Structure 1
Amino acid sequence: MTRLFNDPAAFADEALEGFAAAHRRWVRPVTGGVVRSTRTPAGQVAVVIGGGSGHYPAFSGLVGRGLAHGAAVGNVFASPSAQQIRSVARAAHGGAGVLLMYGNYAGDVLHFGQAAERLAADGIDARTFAVADDMASAGPDESAERRGIAGDLPVFKAAAAAAEQGLALDDVVRVAQRAGARTRSFGIAFSGCTLPGADHPLFTVPEARMAVGLGIHGEPGIGEEPLPTADEAARLLVDTLLQELPEDVPGPRGQRAAVVLNGLGSVKYEELFVVYRKVAALLGEAGVEIVDPEVGELVTSFDMAGVSLTLTWLDEELEELWRAPADTPAFRKGTLDAPVPDAGEPSAEEDADPAVPPASEDSRHAAATVLAALEAVAATVDTHVEELGRIDAVAGDGDHGIGMRRGSTAACGAAADAHARGAGAGTVLARAADAWADRAGGTSGALWGAILRSLGTALGDREAPDADRVAAGVTEASAAVRRLGGAEVGDKTMVDVLVPFAETLAAAVADGQALTDAWDRAATSATEAAAATAALLPRKGRARPHAEKSLGTPDAGAHSLALITRAVHGVLIRRPHEDHPHDHH
């Protein structure tokens, strides 16, 4: 249970502010996260890590010499936005390129990928690497689909130590890939975590049972077993990890491995030590030589009662990198001189608030309807926020409602500001898109940013929007979401609603229906499609490892999209001709 907080929506920002104030020797705050207190040496690759809040010491606590040069920090259990990541990377860049590293979650993959593209446009060579070490989340034949859990630490450490040695970006990426390929993790849990402001945990485990194969976002495990003794838990963890060795490791005997026994939040150090004594004995019996083990809280999940074991199978290069000194707020190895923070180091340059481009009177008029629609979206999300969280918690991490509220509220604020400054419909939507993606983070933040941006591009700032333009924008939004997220109809995602909504709207407009009537027809198909997702098994995203648990429950993203399409229809009814003079064609 998270007991000490103010406004739950401000929790992540306030935690980061306090962290930076407590650790000025190592870090300084920048927009989007923190970077080292000392400037990245000229010619050294910068390793920038990141992910959602709620996992301390990942990710901000791992910033310092010998480890990360910066960390982009998202909201609770939500990836940082592309803009946050770009801001941190620019502040950390030392002229030799940036490697962006994160756990393999859909939202992180989207936002870090977009950040790399924006950095490239800034003239910075940026690469990405997703850690995928969790054996429970996918089989060995689908290892690229695995989640990133506590294996983040040894993989981040290897790449960062390689950068510290002065290796070029290509070589730092190669080291990350090798460390990632040789890292495996597996975890168990005894209770779920409770987010700030929530009155119940994201999942519960029956008395005298444990969840096997948990995630670090409060996702339930893939199975349940009787509560073990400490020795039985150690045996389960070790046996599972020894069942799947990397391709180039012929067998455990004679191998050397970095070992991380990780507490997830409320399994305390003494308990971890009791488990570790058996882990060490079992690995010794298997012929594995343990190198510099780490036992403690390294990648947590708020107050989750759980433990995970990570093995990184070392070769000569990886062992040297694992043993290399590091000095961060939460992870230290070897000895380094105390850092001398740069005096008055400026923050990375902020993008000045760009001017609003000129717009026609028709488009400015339509922007008022766009703003009203966004306000209706935010109000609808606010009404249903708890329901959306509850649906999402069935097989995911329960934060869909929180993320949608953050995103829609921010989008409204940005849209209202742009509208007040005379922006056209296209610019109002574009500013709303950036604000939604930036504030919400996570997969839905990236996808809703793409939806609003596609609509904004179609409407533009010059013409009066008509039904054809709106339908074209929704069609492009549907294509953009499928491109970005990689999901198709049947995967149990928002795509199951967006595609039929877009197709029905386009067909109705082509039939000559007014926009209000066409939207009504499309919103009805969206509602039906969202309900039908209850019968589907998820094939994408965080719910995938818990597919069966979600049967009978609709997808949260699909459900929220259907609610939103109906709310926007209410705005179109209220303002049919006032702001849609070219509704018919």
Structure 2
Amino acid sequence: MAYLFNNPEDFTDELTEGFVAAYPQWVRRVPGGVVRSTRPAPGQVAVVIGGGSGHYPAFAGLVGPGLAHGAAMGNIFASPSAQQIYSVAKAAQNGGGVLFSYGNYAGDVLNFTQAQDRLIAEGIEARTVSVTDDVSSAPPAETAKRRGVAGDLTVFKVAGACADAGGDLDEVVRVAARANDRTRSFGVAFAGCTLPGSSEPLFTVPAGKMAVGLGIHGEPGISERSLPTADEAAELFVDTLLADLPPDIAAGDVRGSRVGLVLNGLGSVKSEELFVVFRRVRQLLDDAGITIVDPEVGELVTSFQMAGASLTLFWLDEELERYWTAPASTPAFRKGAVAASVQGAAEGYQEEAAAAELPAASAASREAAEGVQAILEAMKDLLDEQAPELGRLDSVAGDGDHGIGMQRGATAAVAAGRDALAAGAGAGSLLQLAGDAWADKAGGTSGALWGMALNTVGARVGNDVPPDAVSVSAGIAEAGQKIQQFGKASLGDKTLLDVLLPFSDSLSEHVRAGSSLRAAWSAAADVAQRSADATAQMVPKMGRARPLAEKSVGTPDPGAVSMAMVARTIERKLLEGGPGAKPRGYNNQGETYD
């Protein structure tokens, strides 16, 4: 478990502050993460990596000459927000475009894609190579669905080396994609990790057993086996990876191949133990006629203090080997001698200190904003109370952070709403600012989607007239469409959409029939609850729970449950009436009723 922390809410900010203070010769802090403290050559491609904290040395520890140019840092096991990623990329880019690379997780995909789209809209060329090395998370025919685990290192390393060698964006993308195609990883765990402020591990392993095929976010393994000896673990690693070769390497014809190798400790398995395992791995690969090139044995991509290990094989060709063995110098990864860099960081991007001017709002919209804020406050109270239960649901087949992520998002939304009220914001602007804050502070998949939902409803509601049944239902319907398009999930995939879409359909149907917002919302909240309950029998097809589909059957989706909870809480606020629930005072024609 974590022993040294202050307020768990401040853990990521404080570790970043300490990290930068420890390694100023390599990194400097920027909004959202860190970038190199040395200035790269003008026109050089910027390799920007990132993900949740809790994986050190990934991701911030891999920033420096010969490797990454910047790292976006999310909360523990949560994707950085789109704003954080954008900020880091703006600070790191130097005129040659940006390559984003990260592990293939839903939240990272959503948030990095948003940041990439924003850069492109500003005229900065940006591309992505997501890492998909985990053989446990999908079969060979579906490699694009695989997770990124310790193989992150091989892709980041060759991309950074290619960029520093002067490769243009097309070349860096090509090399990174080839590295990803030729990287395979497999891991086991003996005990789960416990996050700062938590009293229980994200998962447990029975005595005398090990979890096989785990993820790096505290996701349980896909199966359990008897606890092995070091040699038996090595044999499992090698046998598994030699049975899952890259497509351009013929099965059974690996003699003469050359591989980069990462034997990775996940946090509590120490180097001495890993050396015992590597001894046997080396024997097995020698027997297979495979040459190991520059092996890395130690902690490279961890899972906080999880007791576990993984093996990565990186099947080299002449070009990939040149970049794999190229010099690099970062706080946590050093190889060879790096040529002297120009000291002193470029000016780079910094976030605007001044707040943007609020759009004009009518007196009625400003008054309605008070009711909207009261609803946000009620949502925060609910999520503060329910965070442990939502985390428990998420830990069945995920990483257990849904509750704390929702709590962080709601807390940030409430704070932004209070500031907006003080500045005279209308209802629409308040919702949009709250959505931006939710996405930025929560991170992860749910942060991106809830931020998108609040922002979309706010844009539809506007600031000219108070929210009414028509504008609210239309905004929620539009939010559902955007989330479906952007997140690539569908009804039945066991996600929050399995509540949002039926809720939205019911709300719109009752509004079209002439119901007031209060009555329509109440009926739709019943639908939301039934829909959330029904997800218990679904098999997940998206997100971190997908590789553990069978384990999740019988447990409702945490994102669906939290959405139904929020719908019910808003219903109660609408029924209360009075100054704290002004939005209920308008029907679908915009007429007041009390």
Taking structure 2 as the reference length, what is the TM-score of the superposition?
A: 0.97
Equivalent residue letter for 1:466: D
SS at match of 1:292: strand
Aligned position for 1:105: 105
Aligned counterparts of 2:333 and 2:549: Cα–Cα separation in 1: 36
- Pick the aligned partner of 1:583 from 572, 580, 587: 587
**CA 1:584–1:325: 2 relative to 1, 3 Å:** closer
* Alignment map for 1:486-505 (pairs within 5 Å): 486-505=488-507
Cα displacement string for residues 277-309 of structure 1 (whole angstroms, at most 9, x for unaligned residues): 100110110010110000000000011010100
After superposition, the C-alpha distances for 1:548-585 in whole angstroms (9 at most, x for unaligned) are: 11111111000000000011112212237854553242
Once residues 485 and 148 of structure 1 are traced to their aligned partners in structure 2, the CA distance between those partners, rounded to angstroms, is 18
Residue number in structure 2 paired with 1:359:
361
Q: In structure 2, which of residues 276, 279, 289 is the aligned counterpart of residue 277 of structure 1?
A: 279
1:349 positional shift: 2.5
- Structure 1 residues 67-146: aligned runs within 5 Å: 67-146=67-146
Q: Which residue of 2 aligns with 1:16?
A: 16
Q: 1:277 to 1:571 in 2, by over 3 A?
A: same
- Structure 2 CA distance for aligned equivalents of residues 66 and 216 of structure 1: 25
| 1:44 corresponds to | 44
Give the whole-Å Cα distance in 1 for the aligned partners of 2:506 and 2:343.
Answer: 59
Q: Tell me whether 1:542 sits opposite 2:544 in the alignment.
A: yes
Residue type of the alignment partner of 1:241 = L
Paired position in structure 2 for 1:315: 317
Are the equivalent residues in 2 in contact too, given 1:25–1:340 (CA < 8 A)?
A: no
Letter in 2 for 1:55: H
Question: What SS is found at the alignment partner of 2:39?
Answer: coil
CA contact (8 A) 2:258 2:317 kept: yes
The 8 Å contact of residues 266 and 308 in structure 2, kept in 1 or not, is answered as: yes
Give 3-state SS (helix, strand or coil) of 1:48's partner. Answer: strand
Looking at structure 1, the residues matched to 422 and 40 of structure 2 have their Cα atoms a distance apart, in angstroms, of 41
Deviations 1:338-397 (A, max 9, x none): 656417x54622134111111111211221111111111111101101000001000000
- For residues 399-440 of structure 1, the C-alpha deviation after alignment (integer angstroms, 9 at most, x for no partner) is 000000000100111111112111111111110111000000
User: Secondary structure at 2:180's aligned position in 1?
Assistant: helix
Given the alignment of the two structures, is residue 31 of structure 1 paired with residue 31 of structure 2, yes or no? yes
1:99-128 residue CA offsets vs partner (Å, 9 max, x unmatched): 011000000000000000111122211111
Tell me, what secondary structure is at the counterpart of 2:172?
helix
| CA-to-aligned-CA distance 1:233-292 (integer Å, 9 cap, x gap) | 000000100011111112211111101100000000000000001001101100101100
Q: 1:357 is paired with a residue of what secondary structure? A: coil
More displaced stretch, 303-312 vs 120-129 = 120-129
2:162 aligned partner: 162
SS at match of 2:411: helix
Does 2:214 align with 1:214? yes
Q: Say whether the 8 Å CA contact 2:39–2:342 is kept in structure 1.
A: no
Which whole-Å CA distance do the structure 2 matches of 1:426 and 1:24 have between them?
42
Say which is worse superposed, 366-375 or 176-185, in terms of deviation. 366-375
Instruction: Name the amino acid aligned to 2:46.
Output: A
Provide the rounded CA distance (Å) in 2 between the counterparts of 1:493 and 1:226: 33
2:103, 2:553 → 1: CA distance? Answer: 27
Residue 446 of structure 1 corresponds to 448
Write the distance in 2 (CA, Å) between the matches of 1:427 and 1:240. Answer: 53
Which amino acid is the alignment partner of residue 366 of structure 2?
Answer: R
Question: 2:270 is matched by which residue type in structure 1?
Answer: K
Shift of 1:532: 1.1
SS of structure 2 residue aligned to 1:123: coil
Q: Tell me which residue corresponds to 2:265.
A: 263
* More displaced stretch, 381-390 vs 483-492: 483-492
The structure 1 residue matched to 2:256, chosen from 236, 254, 257, is: 254
Aligned mates of 1:116, 1:584 — CA distance in 2: 39
Kept after mapping to 1: 8 A contact 2:92/2:348: no
Contact 1:369–1:575, Cα closer than 8 Å, also in 2: no
Map 1:318-337; keep pairs closer than 5 Å.
318-337=320-339
Q: Note if contact 1:26-1:339 (Cα within 8 Å) is conserved in structure 2.
A: no
| C-alpha separation in 2, matches of 1:46 and 1:338 | 18
Aligned to 2:349: 348
Letter in 1 for 2:360: P
In structure 2, the residue matched to 1:556 is: 558
Listed one character per residue, the Cα deviations across residues 170-204 of structure 1 (whole Å, up to 9, x for unaligned) are: 11100111000000000011111111111111111
Corresponding residue SS for 1:370: helix
Distance in structure 2 (CA, Å) of the matches to 1:338 and 1:394? 49
Tell me, in whole angstroms, the C-alpha distance in 2 between the residues paired with 1:330 and 1:169. Answer: 26
Q: Who is 2:227 aligned against?
A: 227
Deviation for aligned residue 1:464: 2.5
After alignment, is 306-315 or 121-130 more displaced?
121-130
Residues 25 and 339 in structure 1, CA contact (< 8 A), matched pair in contact too: no
Q: Which runs of 5+ in 2 are unaligned?
A: 590-594
Q: Comparing 18-27 with 248-257, which one deviates more in the overlay?
A: 248-257
Equivalent of 2:529 in 527, 530, 534: 527
Distance 2:588 2:355 in 1: 37
**Residue of structure 1 aligned with 2:380, choices 369, 375, 378:** 378
Q: Is the contact made by 2:405 and 2:443 (CA closer than 8 Å) also made in structure 1?
A: yes
Shift of 1:40: 2.5
Secondary structure (helix, strand or coil) at the match of 1:34 reads strand
The CA distance in 2 between the partners of 1:56 and 1:362, in whole Å, is 50
Q: 8 Å contact 1:193–1:301 — kept in the other structure?
A: yes
What amino acid is aligned across from residue 120 of structure 2 in structure 1?
A: A
**AA matched with 1:390:** R
Whether the 8 Å contact between 2:39 and 2:341 is mirrored in structure 1 is no
Q: Distance in 2 between matches of 1:233 and 1:543?
A: 25
Q: 1:487-543: per-residue Cα shift (whole Å, max 9, x none)?
A: 111111111100110001001111111110110000011011111111111111100
Q: Distance in 1 between matches of 2:546 and 2:291?
A: 35
Following superposition, the deviation at residue 483 of structure 1 comes to 1.2
**Who is 1:429 aligned against?**
431
Q: What percent identity do the matched residue pairs reach?
A: 61
Which deviates the most, 24-33 or 357-366? Answer: 357-366
Q: Give the residue type in structure 1 aligned to 2:126.
A: A
The residue identity in structure 2 corresponding to 1:144 is A
Q: Which amino acid aligns with 2:394?
A: D
CA distance in 1, matches of 2:185, 2:76: 23
Shift of 1:463: 2.2
C-alpha contact 2:66 2:338 (8 A) present in aligned 1? no
Q: Distance in 2 between matches of 1:314 and 1:107?
A: 30
SS in 1 for 2:375: helix
Paired residues of 1:30 and 1:347 also in contact (CA < 8 A): no
Matching residue's letter, 2:421: H
**Residue in 1 that maps onto 2:573:** 571
Question: 1:59 and 1:176 mapped to 2: Cα distance?
Answer: 16
C-alpha separation in 2, matches of 1:192 and 1:347: 40
Residues in 1 aligned to 2:341 and 2:39: alpha-carbon distance in whole angstroms = 10
- Say whether the 8 Å CA contact 1:47–1:101 is kept in structure 2: yes
